[in-house]
Amino acid sequence: MSENNEINQIINQAKSEARSDNFKKLIVKNSKILVVIAGLVVVGAISFFIFNAYQKSQEAKFSEILQQSIVDQKSGDLEKTKETLKKIVETKSAPKNIKALATLRYAALLLDEGKNSEAVALYQEINQCKGCDAYIKDLGGLLAVKVWISDETEFQKDDLLARIEKIEVGSKELKNQISEQKALVQMHKNNLDKAYLTFESLAKNPEAEEGLKKRAEEGMKIVISKGYSPNAHEALEVQSKSEESKK
């Protein structure tokens, strides 16, 4: 048995040395490639460090500019405020969330000047921003919807509800608030069945704020006062389910 153990140890040692020798040969054979890979790793690490440092410096720089615009607005210098905000809005390298906040404030100033279409274009730009905070994106969408609703010309357009629904579908943080605006438009355009369904959905939504739920319940009552019957709503649900089953 002892002889067998000694033989096994010798064999294992020989295998280990062979593996080690093969590894050394592999290193020697591919030394140039390994040097290149090591160099790329080092360059990547340095680039990542430089990029992070640049991002932080940009955030500090544009945060300071944004803060200055707030100071200017509080002092009543609206022209300087607009100029400062516009500088951030038009700078491509500005950090996305800071740029979005500046754009929201700049759009508000444009609204005060009656430049609704320009303001809405900026709100839509925020709503479509990739990499921006979800709440800020939704806020841009909600504000665009509110401007459309308050503008008589926009309100009369046939595609208004389609535009609102497009923003609603892509929203997360403020989806319920956007749905509420949609329901109001549906009601005023006399789409009473759809308005009732939207208000009812909000009123029963466990994730909706209490204040919004109460407004939705009031909306349901207003829809009924306009002559809509909840029984018709139930019939509509049955019809809708029947149509879905046929598909």
Domains of the chain: 58-156 (1.25.40), 174-247 (no CATH)
The pLDDT tens digits of the residues spanning 100-112 come to 999 999 999 999 9
- pLDDT confidence band for 74 (50 / 70 / 90): confident
Read off the pTM. 0.71
Residue 45 CB contacts under 8 Å (≥ 6 apart), including other chains: none
Torsion, CA 222, CA 225, CA 227, CA 229, rounded to 10: 80
User: What is the identity of the amino acid at 68?
Assistant: Q
pLDDT computed for residue 119 by the predictor: 95
pLDDT for position 120: 96
